[in-house]
Structure formats: structure tokens, C-alpha cells
A and B are shown apart, each in its own frame.
Chain A
Amino acid sequence: MSTNFDRRRINGPEDSFSPVLVDDDEDETKWRPGKPRQSRQPQDIRPIFLQPGLISQANGSAYIETERTKIACAVYGPRQSKNVGYIERGRLNVQVKFAPFSCHKRRAPIRDAEDRSIAVLIHQSLVSSVRLELFPKSTIDVFLTIIENDGIDSCVATGTVAASTALADAGIEMLGLVTSCAATLMGEEIWLDPNHDEATAGASTLVLACMPALNVVTSVWQNGTISPKQGLECMKACQERCETIHSIVAQSLVSNFTPE
């Protein structure tokens, strides 16, 4: 969009814009706000495909796909913290990157605020699960690449699940697996695991991350308008669903594990 000439890349023209699409005729099959949910019940989540250990160069990795949300995650470390003094506890470093083709509008390859806000939220979900006191002077790097984006809430929730799976795949000591689920308030109904269209149409969105094995919540993130009572109901619904996701993660880790 704006001029971001970078001599380290192959550059296109100075200015370009995404094509303006016009509707030839209304697509009746498309979901629109106000309609009931398509192809699943409000409390259903999208099918999860989770594959640990796909990135052979990393200490641990996971690839996750829930319909149109596709995220790859790699864990490197624990490795030596560079350029810092003595630290007693290890550092958990989470970085998120959108592939340029992951969104409807092309993302020029520059770091922006959205990358960081997702990284901060995933860090929040994970940080209390990792036993960082065992890794003085070290950093655990968690890198996520969003290959296809279908809503920020979905990216945060799915990214958290992928990252926790990758940490487990890397053999890093944790107190428990972290799973996460998003919800949106659609009228009076709570719809779990919303996609982008549903999340933007809803009055409020909430992402909850928890360690189902210990029955504790590690992160809550809510935006938009909701009554406190409905907020609590959303959190309960998410926590319940997190238990389902927990068994999916555990299953995928077990089936990927090959005894030495």
C-alpha cells in the first residue's frame, strides 16, 4: 500500500491497491449477520487438524488447521540468551508473523502492531505453564507463522494450541498443556470458535486459555459489549470446550511419539 521500498527485497511499483470487487449478484448461500449458524451448532468448534513435529530443523513444532485458519509453529531452545545479563528465570519469547498472502488484503512484509498484539496474548496464555525457573540464562523461542488468517480471535486461540503442542513436542517441561478457545456473543447466543465473519458480526468476543489438567485459567481476553453474567457464561463454555481440545492435543502428541 504505502511506499515501502526496501532494497533487500524485490520491489514492485511504488503504489498498488487491492482490486475493488463488485457483487455480480447476491450469493444466497453465504452467511450473513442475523442468520442462524451454518453447518454447525453454536457450541460446536471447527474440526482441528493438528500435526506435531513437522518442522525437522526445530526442537519442537506443530502445524494446526481449523478450516481456514492455518498456523505453523516452531520452538527453538532452550538456548543461550544473548545480549542480556544474568537472568534467574528463562525467557519465553513469542513472535508471530503473517505470511503476505494470509489475509484478504496483502500484508507488506513489515512488522506491525497486530503481529505483536497476537504474540503478547499467546505469551500470556503460555507463560505460566512453562517451568521457566528450570532454565536460567536461557531463552525459549516460539515462532509462529500464520499461513491463512480467518479472524484474529481464532488466530490467538489456535496459535496458543499450536504453541503449547510445539513446546511439548520440544520436550520442554511444563505444568500442563495449554488449550484455548474463542467465543462470540451473537444476539443472546454464545457461538464458540467463530470465524472472521462471525467474530466481526458479534457484539463481543472472548478468548480464554486454560490448563484443563490443573483446572486453572491462564488468560482471558474480551472485547466489545457484554453483560457480566454473559461474560461468565462465555468463559464457562470456552473452558468446557478447552477440555475437548485438550484431548485432541494429547492424542496427537501420543500418536506422534515414537519410543527411542
Chain B
Amino acid sequence: MSATVSLSKSEKSYIRTALGELSPIRADGRSLLDYRSIALETGVASLANGSARVNIGKTAGEESGSGTEVIAAVKLEVEGVLEGEGVDGGRLMCTVSCSPAAYPHLSSAALDDLSYDMTIILNQCLSHPSLHPKNLVIIPKRRSWLLTLDVIVLSDSGNVYDALFLAARSALCDTKVPKTRSVQYQPKSNALGEQDVEMSAEAPASIFSTKEVKSTADFELADYWDEGEPLDINQEWPVCVTLNLLSAKSLPTYFLDATSQEEAAIPLRLLLLFSFSPSGTRLQSMRLMGDGEIQLESMTQLLESGENHARKLFQALKNKLQEEDFRRNQKALARFDLR
């Protein structure tokens, strides 16, 4: 089951027994609901419109290569709606690629399949119409942004889905959509048969604007200190909590943040994606993965506890992102003002 390690029968049973004890024991000394330490940094790719790097479980003092490490980056591209592949309102596309270094024992075909599967899970959740940002439009019915979110798995020591969505959410929250201004070309009416055209720029919010947007032909980037404005559904990007199910009978027991060894020993996982908007808690995606089954009665409790864990993670991530935002953007703004 696990993509990273293969364990012998006795190793699996050892891990399973230890986790199933009344006072469960995990190899790294955590309790069932403890996460490993999570490190997050935004703005790691200077050429991207938004990016983040997440590491779960890096041990202090060790260099790179330990823990689960994921990098996500957002690029925005302009698409034509009439002539190109673009759709009115913009598109969001996610791709996950797994580095061969993260899964050295997998064949290239198996690695592709794994990347495919992760891509699909990310894509089905994040590009669902219910999470579509409204400000991917440049000129209605003509041009829009294509938002591509590329995520790279650099190393996997368990709990890769939580890391993927943490990185994805951070990169999307970090994304700035460039400000644009519609531009229009008009033939000079007073010129004598001249073919030359005049360009008139128009600020989108101008109250003096009487021209119809329909006649807009092109756009230009507004000159501004910042790279642009954030996506307008920033707070709704979901976080993922993976519940690794030990027993799914009427009293479900589970643990969080499994290491690769634990994933290999406990095959059944429940992926829950929650978003916490002012309007309430929403479930954005749910998926049972692995060989095993659960009883529907236990889902009530699993969803409830999943929601609690997700809320804590969501809050912690929000604080961290604000901190990161301050570190990078507010300081930059202050510096800009000084000049």
C-alpha cells in the first residue's frame, strides 16, 4: 500500500500492536493525535506569482532529505477565451509531480501513476466550481487568467496529502493577481483616411467611464508597487486532515500524521478536506483510501473529530501565513513608502 517503504509481516504487526495498546506507543514517542513539527515558508520561488514550501517532520540538526517535503508554486498565464483554450472566468489547473528521489524504488511508470493519482485528488478538490476565485477575469468574455498550481513532492516520509494541501493552500494564499486595466483602440475620426489608431486607457473603477466593456480590445498591466491583489476566496482554500484508521467499528480509533512505516502497517485512511469560511464549516472533499472498510455509524464521529483537528490546523496555518505575509510584504511596503 505505502508508496515509500515495504515492511515485513512482523514489522507491520509490531507497529499495529503498539498503536492498538491502551496507552499507544509510536516509534517517535508522539501520542496518537500529535503532529510532527511542520515548517512553512512562503515566497520560495521568486518567479512565481505565489509559492510555498512545507516540511513535515524534519528533525532538528539534520539537513535536507528528512521529513515530507513539498513545494507548491502558482503561475498565472493569460488565455484568450475566443481563440485559445481559455474559458470565460478563468481556469485553475493543478499538477503534482513526484520527484524520483522521493520514491527511488518505484519504476517510472509507477511513479507516473502515483503523480497522476495525487494530481487528480488535488485537482478534483481545488478546481471545483465551488472554490473558483472570481478575480481571474481580465476582460469579460475575452481574456482570463489560467492559474496553474504545480506541486512537487521532494521527499515523502508519510502524510503526503496533508503536506500537499498545506503547501497548496499557502501558495494560493500567497498568490497575487496582477492588476490590469482595459485598453481600447479607436480609429481617429478626424484624421483624413488615416489608418492609424489611438489608444485610450481606462481604469476599471473609474466613475467617469462611459465606454462599454464590450468594446474593450486589450489590457495592460497597471503600474503598482505590489505584484497585485490576492485571490478573492483566500480564506476558503481547504486544509486536509488524514485520519489513519486503526479500527472503524462503532468506536473508531485513528491517529494523525502517520510516518511511512505506520502508513505501510495501517492501510486504511480517510482524507477529509475542510474549509472554514465566515458562513460556516464546509466539507470540500472526502475520500476513503486503502484496503479496508468502515461502518457508516462511525462516520459521524470521524467527521466531527476531523473537523476539530482541521480547525486547529487551519488556525495555526492562518497565523503562520499572516506572519509570513508580514515578514515579506508589509516590510516591503514600508520600505517602498520610505523612498
Contact = CB atoms under 8 A, between A and B. Distances in A.
B81 interface: no
Interface in A201-223: 203-204, 206, 210-211, 214-223
Interface stretch (A68-76, A120-128, A248-256): A120-128
Nearest to B125: A223
B282 A225 contact: yes
B130 A228 contact: no
6 contacts: A116-B113, A117-B117, A128-B291, A217-B294, A225-B128, A225-B282
A124 to B, nearest CB: 7
Interface string B90-134: 000000000000000000000001001101100011001111000
Interface residues of A, number: 32
A206 B287 CA distance: 10
B304 A218 contact: no
Interface string B237-278: 000000000000000000000000000000000100001000
Interface residues on B, range: 35 or more
Contacts of B129: 224
Interface in A167-218: 203-204, 206, 210-211, 214-218
B283 A226 contact: yes
Contacts of A222: 283, 285-287
Given A128-B292, A224-B130, A227-B282, A235 B287 contact: no
A134 interface: no
B293 interface: yes
Contact of A231 (B283, B288, B289, B293): B283
Interface SS majority for chain B: mixed
Which 6 A-B residue pairings sit nearest by Cβ, starting from the closest?
A: A225-B130, A216-B293, A222-B286, A117-B120, A220-B288, A225-B282
Contacts of B303: 228, 231-232
Contact of B289 (A124, A214, A217, A227): A124
Contact of B286 (A128, A210, A231, A239): A231
B282 A113 contact: no
Contact of B296 (A128, A203, A210, A223): A210
A95 to B, nearest CB: 12
Contacts of B128: 223-225
Contacts of A117: 116-117, 120, 124
A130 to B, nearest CB: 10
Nearest to B238: A225
A223 B288 contact: no
Most-contacted residue by chain B among A210, A219, A224 (CB, 10 A): A224
B286 A221 contact: yes
A225 B283 contact: yes
Contacts of B299: 217, 220, 232, 235
